[in-house]
Amino acid sequence: MDEKQHKRAIWAWTFYDWANSAFATTIMAAVLPVYYASVAAANLPGNMATVAWAYTTSISLLIAALLSPILGAVADFAGAKKRFLTIFMLIGVTGTALLFFIRTGDWLMASIFFVIGDLGFAGSLVFYDALLPHVARPEEMDEVSSRGYAIGYLGGGLLLAINLAMIMLAPKELTGMMTRLSFLTVAVWWFVFTIPLLRLVGEPPRRILAKEQGRNPIAVSFSRLGKTFREITHYRDLFIFLVAFWFYNDGIGTIIKMATIYGTEIGIGQTTLIGTLLMVQFVGIPFAILFGWLAKRLGTKQSIYLSLLVYTAIAIGGYFMSKEWHFWALGVAVATVQGGSQALSRSLFGRMLPKSKSAEFFGFFSVSEKFAGIAGPFVFGVVGQLVGNSRLSIVSLIIFFIVGAVLLTRVNVDEGVRVAAAEENALQAASVPAAGD
């Protein structure tokens, strides 16, 4: 691949962040949670709308977590990372479009359609992330991953702004219709802006061992998955990082998913809630790029530590939040670290895995991410149900940031990169040409 093709592939890869971030902003964070609480679950008593939303997100993430490593192994063996990305993108687009039909009291149907959409979103990201080590050179990973998040902020923010204009400028009797139309715009946006990746990013080379030739792809994939699962602790630093990521991403994911519905519960106005989330999208753009720059100066791990320190302060501040300006202030704080912490985690993991097994290993990364997402909203929901409000749920998140940071100190990145390179060389030596390669 010449330099021009390389740059076009990077551009096309980052543009999938632009495509799928519309789901993250309008569906996960801003419009649907408010619509769910005020319309779809309007007939539920007390704070049960918040509880139902928390359990809904937990269920969707559990399904994705169980499927991710299996599908990752299949994609690696079949040489089908892009094909699986396309399938899950279409599942997500379908679930998102179906949200258009949600009316008052349809909270269960809304939960089902959200689970379908979120499964497509989460599943597609496994294969999207798995393409990163093939698209970017090792020295580019932090910068390219951060650029993806920055572009995602811009794309998700632009569509969210359009959707908010549709909703807030419409006559009151059309607000519900405009809200439901915003769900359709997400589906169309997601589908259309996935096309550059499908056209310009090549499928990575497929590698199979001699003993795997002619065998059933599913059987081989389960065999590979079992072997990797048994041996993953041999990748000592990669394994420790996975556990660290599980803890600190638990807190990050819960803040992202529960912020709007938590604000609704404590009386923050809809204009402030959605306006803050829109602000986060645009303020987050330069800070996501800044973290790519910081990683070169301070180191990737040190930059992640900085983000976790800020998140700890956010969790503590969330307990005391009572006024609308508090929500705006915490939103600014989130914007400074949200994209950078996730982008650097993705690139750090990508450097410590064998490239030939990228989808399989990113499947494990996804499991770590999804189980974090399961635990956080679940604990949030349980604590909220027990005490009758969700303030203590926010405070409980600081333990995840602290434990994650402590575990991260145990990760030797250079050794992790060395082990991954040795494994990749061994895989190449043992591989045979696959038909069609």
- pLDDT tens across 12-25, in order? 999 999 999 999 98
> Is 107 inside a domain boundary?
yes
Q: Which pLDDT score, from 0 to 100, does residue 208 have?
A: 65
Please, which pLDDT band fits residue 63 given cuts at 50, 70 and 90? confident
Q: Is residue 68 part of a domain?
A: yes
Whether residue 224 is predicted with pLDDT greater than 80 in this model: the reply is no
Q: What is the pLDDT of residues 84-141, one digit of tens each?
A: 999 999 999 999 999 999 999 999 999 999 999 999 998 898 889 889 888 988 888 8
φ and ψ at 380, to 5 degrees?
A: -55, -45
Continuous segment of H or E residues that includes residue 431: strand 431-432
Question: Could you give the percent of the chain with pLDDT greater than 70?
Answer: 89
pLDDT of residue 48: 85
Listed in sequence order, the residues at least 6 apart from 75 whose beta carbon sits closer than 8 Å to its beta carbon are 81, 83, 84, 127, 130, 359, 360
Quick check: is 212 in a domain? no
Q: Is 211 inside a domain boundary?
A: no
Total residues found in the chain within this entry: 437
Q: For 186-219, write each residue's pLDDT tens digit.
A: 999 999 999 999 999 988 876 666 566 656 666 7
Query: Could you tell me which residue, 302 or 280, shows the higher pLDDT?
Result: 302
Place of tokens 């009316």: 103
Contact 281, 377 (CB under 8 A): no
190: closest CA among 93, 114, 84? 93
- DSSP letter at 390 equals S
Q: Residues with Cβ < 8 Å from 325, sequence gap 6 or more?
A: none
Q: Quick check: 434 pLDDT over 60?
A: no
| Per-residue pLDDT at 211 | 63
- The predicted-structure confidence for 344-387, as pLDDT tens digits, reads as follows 998 898 889 888 777 777 777 766 666 656 677 777 777 777 77
437 found inside a domain? no
Neighbours of 171 (CB within 10 A): 8
- Residue 291: inside a domain, yes or no? yes
Q: Provide the domain limits for residue 368.
A: 3-199+221-431
pLDDT greater at residue 278 or residue 328: 328
Least confident of 94-98, 147-151, 276-280: 276-280
Would 29 be classed as within a structural domain? yes
Whether residue 423 is contained in a domain is answered as: yes
- Alpha carbon 127 to its chain's center: 12
pLDDT digits (tens, 9 = 90+) for 248-262: 988 887 787 777 777
Determine the 3-state secondary structure of 221 from DSSP: helix
Domain count for the chain, please give it: 1
* Residue among 58, 54, 27 at smallest CA distance from 393: 54
Look up the CATH number of the domain holding residue 257: 1.20.1250.20
Strand partners, 431: 209
* Average model confidence (pLDDT) across the chain: 84
pLDDT at 336 over 50: yes
pLDDT of residue 231: 67
Confidence at residue 374, expressed as pLDDT on a 0 to 100 scale: 67
* More confidently predicted of 405 and 168: 405
